[in-house]
Amino acid sequence: MKYILKKASMMVLTLIAVSILVFLAFNLIPGDPATRILGTEATESQLQLLRQEMGLNDPIYVRYLRWIWNFIRGDLGESYSYGSVSALILDKIPITIWLAIMAFFLMFVISIPLGIFTARHEGGVIDKIVVVLDQVIMAIPPFFSGIIITLVFGLTLQLFVPGGFVSYKIDFWGFIGYLVFPAIAIALPKITMCVKLLRGSVIEEISKDYTRTAYSRGNTTRGVLYRHVLKNAMIPVITFMGMALADMVSGSIVIEQVFNIPGIGRMLLSSINNRDYPVVEAIIMGIAILVMVVNLIVDIIYRLVDPRIEAIND
């Protein structure tokens, strides 16, 4: 418990640091939101008026404190082109979350059986094929596999219409259907890493003394594997999966571009281009919070799987 409290206070500090960085970054890069809104023909007095209205003329610390105070109270402010930021994010976040969940699901159901299978049949033909394939696929970045998937499954096999995204509000299953291939593109490298990790971890555990003992007590291979080995072998895999989940959310920023999905990632990029600071700041803070929460959850799961960790840390 003490540990979790310590972790949580660290999270708050990190968030403050992130918020300062985000806020400063957008004050340092060139580009003036007022010009962006009023266009190139605006006169200086019009620009000044709008800057005043938007509070852009106040000193930077005043603006920062105002923003962070509103943020804490749950008021994410007004987007320069879309109205309420909260409403906008609530509208778009299901898209990205579903994409990440689907990718995570794919990773889970493919990599765990495959990892165990290859470890059990180490050196076999299938194991060898999987290991080689694994290495190859691991080296392909998601945006590239996205392009290949579009080409092969979209244009050649016509299993989906490139760019044919439908909103979850209009046709939920059509929406899920469109996300399958993007999810595969995001999941592929994670699957390969997870298989490799799990395979290595299981093989290592199998060679340990306790496994031999377990066998000598008359357990079947299956029993040893699932009741003893896997429990230990899973610990590094859980860490990896936790990180992968956070990674998938941020990785979707790239994949959303490739597949033309209007999720959080697209919103982030277009808001940066439009100098729509309230949106950018809210999204980056959101991603930061998500990564930290996931890390915290991973920590908690650790403890459940292996109580020894608690003893060491506390």
Partner 1 sequence: MKKKVWSGNVARRGLAAVCALAMTATMLTGCGKKKEDASEGSSAQGTAAQTSSQDSDEVFTVGIPQDLDSLDPHIAQSAGTREVLFNIFEGLVKPDEKGNMNPAIASSYKISEDATEYTFTIRENVLFHNGATVTADDVVASLQRYKDTGASIFETVDAIEKVDDSTVKVTLSKPNTEFLSYCTVAIMPKDTTDAETNPIGTGPYKFVSRTALENLVVEKFDEYWDVDNAAHIKNVVFKVEANPDNIVADLEGGSIDMYARITSDQADQLSDSFEIYEGEMNLVQALYVNNAVEPFDNELVRQALCYAIDPQEIMDFVSGGAGVEIGSAMFPSFDKYFDESLNDTYNQDVDKAKELLAQAGYPDGFTFTIKVPSNYTPHIDTAEVIVEQLEAIGVTAQIKKIEWNTWLEDVYNNKDYEATIVGFDASTLNASSLLYRYTSDAHNNMFNYSNADYDKAFATAQATVDEAEQIKYYKECEKILSQTAAAVYIQDLPSFVALNSKYTGYTFYPLYVQDIAKIKLAE
Query: Binding pattern to partner 1, positions 159-188, x when CB under 8 A?
Result: --xxxxx-x---------------------
Considering just the CA atoms, what is the radius of gyration of the chain in Å? 24
Among positions 85, 88, 224, 230, the unique one binding partner 1 when judged by CB under 8 A: 88
Kindly state whether residue 91 participates in binding partner 1, applying the rule CB under 8 A: yes
Among positions 9, 27, 81, 220, the unique one binding partner 1 when judged by CB under 8 A: 81
Kindly state whether residue 96 participates in binding partner 1, applying the rule CB under 8 A: no
Task: Pick the closer one to partner 1 by CB: 84 or 219.
Answer: 84
- Within 8 A by CB and 6+ apart from 280, the residues are 22, 26, 268, 271, 272
Among positions 19, 22, 23, 92, the unique one binding partner 1 when judged by CB under 8 A: 92
Task: Pick the closer one to partner 1 by CB: 101 or 166.
Answer: 166
Question: With contact defined as beta carbons under 8 Å apart, do 137 and 188 qualify?
Answer: yes
Kindly state whether residue 55 participates in binding partner 1, applying the rule CB under 8 A: no
Among positions 1, 5, 13, 40, the unique one binding partner 1 when judged by CB under 8 A: 40
The distance of closest approach from Cβ of residue 166 to partner 1 in the complex, given in angstroms and rounded to an integer, is 10
Kindly state whether residue 278 participates in binding partner 1, applying the rule CB under 8 A: no
Among positions 43, 72, 157, 216, the unique one binding partner 1 when judged by CB under 8 A: 43
Show contacts of 295-301: CB within 8 Å, 24+ apart. Answer: 295/242, 295/243, 295/246, 296/4, 296/7, 296/8, 296/11, 297/242, 298/238, 298/239, 298/241, 298/242, 298/243, 299/3, 299/4, 299/7, 300/4, 301/238, 301/242
Q: Assign residue 118 a region (left: φ > 0; alpha: ψ between -120 and 50; beta: otherwise).
A: alpha
CA distances from 173 to 89, 166, 168, 226, 310 (A): 21, 9, 8, 36, 43
The distance of closest approach from Cβ of residue 183 to partner 1 in the complex, given in angstroms and rounded to an integer, is 18
Kindly state whether residue 44 participates in binding partner 1, applying the rule CB under 8 A: yes
Question: With contact defined as beta carbons under 8 Å apart, do 197 and 236 qualify?
Answer: yes
Task: Pick the closer one to partner 1 by CB: 98 or 104.
Answer: 98
Among positions 174, 236, 262, 286, the unique one binding partner 1 when judged by CB under 8 A: 262
Interatomic CA distance for residues 184 and 99, integer angstroms: 10
Taking the CB of residue 197, how many other CB atoms lie within 10 A of it?
Answer: 18
Residue ranges binding partner 1 (CB under 8 A): 29-32, 35-44, 46, 81-83, 88, 91-92, 150-151, 154-155, 158, 161-165, 167, 257-260, 262, 266-267, 269-270, 273-275
